[in-house]
Structure 1
Amino acid sequence: MDHDELGRENWIHGKVALLGDAAHAFLPHQVQGGAQAVEDGVAIGALFPLGTQSSEIPQLLNLYVKARYDRATLVQDFSRQSGFQTPRGKHRGKAIDPIQFAYHGRKIHKSFLGILKFAYRGRFWIPETANNIETLWNIYIFAEKKEIEYLQDIMMNRITSFYHKTNTLPSMDTIVYVYENTLAESAIQKPSMARRFLARCYVAISINCLYGAKYEESKERLADVLYNTAGLLSDTLDATRSPAGIKCEIPWKVDFDPRKVKPCDYHQHEWNEQCPDIKETPFNSETDE
């Protein structure tokens, strides 16, 4: 089945949205109909967190269209051009160049990831997230890999707040796990704020400066983590000698509790740039539990 593009204004109406073939019917030549329908579902799932209120639906559906329309209609057009029996495809002589398809796919996919910051922003108050440090770290790792800076800032706020409020410090297992799943600073890679925080914590733990937290770890385990975790040794040296990566207004010293420094120390912006100061939605016991 094939039909003309509906136009983005026809994908949604109030609180109703079209998904799958209803929004973008596909001929079989690129074998993408099912995949695009699944992507629609993923977008809707990401944009509608637990506790979404009815009044928020129209705005979120507009974000769904922004995230999905360009990619779905581009793939739909590629499919048409690949079929000889269609008006657009019968003069081509061959299917769409896979390299061209991959290039445009990556370009639009990156835009889709950028929309995710709206899905996650301000929706981390539910107990399953706020009280689970492993979940917080996993969301941060996702945000860093996908370069969603707003989400990275939010999660570093949450992570440092968690350790502060619970009077705990990251375990050696956590340090190893986060280092394994984040990237070291390079000419093309921004410094990881997670690594900055964890390196400072490691330095404090290694000299038994625990800021009142209860923490026990053997010196053998500390040595093993330091020498077998790629990047940690250099980060700890940077932490004690000079600000690592993005410059800080005030160099960190070991007598500063890394959980209580200015939040901007772990944000993506430069120290002399204005902080985005992301405001999170207050907890609502009726909608967020």
Structure 2
Amino acid sequence: MVQSAYDILFNKNTASTGPVSTTPAVTRGKLFEWQKNSPLKLGKQMITITVGAENKKFLVHADLITRQPRIFRRLRVSRSVDTGLSVGWFDVFQPISCSVFARLLQFAYHGKLFPGISLDTLWHLYIFANKNKALDLEDIIMNRIMATYRSDKQFFPEPRHIELGYNSTKENSTGRKFLALCYATMMHVNTKLPSTPIYDNGVLLELGKKCDGLSTDVANFTNGKGWINIKDWDPRYASECLYHHHAWGVECESLS
């Protein structure tokens, strides 16, 4: 039985019936400068990873897969059998966009997010981290998301990003909490200043119908136990730790 790329990536219960090929595969991948100047001490063995609809090839140090499990937790890469070969090249597929994968690699090689990441890519990075239970990476991405929205007081999450976040992350995710509170703030501002709405009320009301759980979350956060008074508070300027996974009062390790 041949494992599909999906089975390899997401650890489906399939068993290999034959030996692993040790023939180097032809690749068009290349190393980026930020891979070459990584502070990590990595071996010479490389793998190729084909990414996204463009089928772009990325060269990645094999050691990185085991050294950064929070990013590659579900990525399973075949290794060569003991035939004396010093380098084994194996091509696996990663079903995310090239821009998102490149940013994940940058984080894996350097332990930090690089500057200049678009909100589209940031939200897709957050979704990847959420699906793969990389909680520390989620927290760091949320820091960058918050910093981006803080650049302008009129800058709130676009409806498409709220819909993307709600329909692509797990219940009770910190990303959903941030989006729900921003949604509540926008509705309040629209009521207070109807002549200058952030987004049209009709758009926001329709968004509440499209995003399963959004209206419930807004009600729970603003009217339930421990509710937040959205009239006097802006979720974009809250402590970053409100959207982290650690308990209150614990020293935060994700403020980077």
How does the TM-score come out when normalised to structure 1?
0.54
Aligned counterparts of 1:272 and 1:208: Cα–Cα separation in 2: 31
Q: Tell me if 1:196 matches 2:182.
A: no
Match in the other structure for 2:246: 269
Aligned counterparts of 1:149 and 1:242: Cα–Cα separation in 2: 26
Gaps of 5+ in 1: 1-27, 78-114, 185-190, 244-249, 280-289
Q: 2:215 aligns with which of 207, 218, 233?
A: 233
- Who wins on radius of gyration, i.e. which is larger? 1
The 1:133/1:71 distance shift into structure 2, 3 A limit, reads: closer
Q: CA deviation at 1:251?
A: 5.5
Aligned counterparts of 1:205 and 1:236: Cα–Cα separation in 2: 12
Q: 2:188 aligns with which of 202, 207, 211?
A: 207
The 1:182/1:59 distance shift into structure 2, 3 A limit, reads: same
SS in 1 for 2:160: helix
Q: CA deviation at 1:117?
A: 6.3
Match in the other structure for 1:154: 140
Q: CA deviation at 1:192?
A: 0.6
Gaps of 5+ in 2: 1-15, 46-60, 68-75, 83-104
Contact 2:39 2:110 in 1 (8 A): no
Q: Tell me if 1:253 matches 2:236.
A: no
Structure whose residues are more often helix by fraction: 1
Structure whose residues are more often strand by fraction: 2
Equivalent runs, 1:73-112 vs 2, <5 Å: 73=79, 76=81
Q: CA deviation at 1:262?
A: 0.4
The 1:122/1:231 distance shift into structure 2, 3 A limit, reads: same
Match in the other structure for 2:65: 67
Q: CA deviation at 1:136?
A: 0.7
| Alignment RMSD (CA, Å) | 4.0
Identity %: 25
Aligned counterparts of 1:154 and 1:37: Cα–Cα separation in 2: 36
The 1:181/1:208 distance shift into structure 2, 3 A limit, reads: same
How does the TM-score come out when normalised to structure 2?
0.60
Match in the other structure for 1:123: 113
Contact 2:127 2:169 in 1 (8 A): yes
Q: CA deviation at 1:32?
A: 4.4
Amino acid of the residue matched to residue 268 of structure 1?
H
Q: Tell me if 1:170 matches 2:146.
A: no
Aligned counterparts of 2:137 and 2:21: Cα–Cα separation in 1: 31
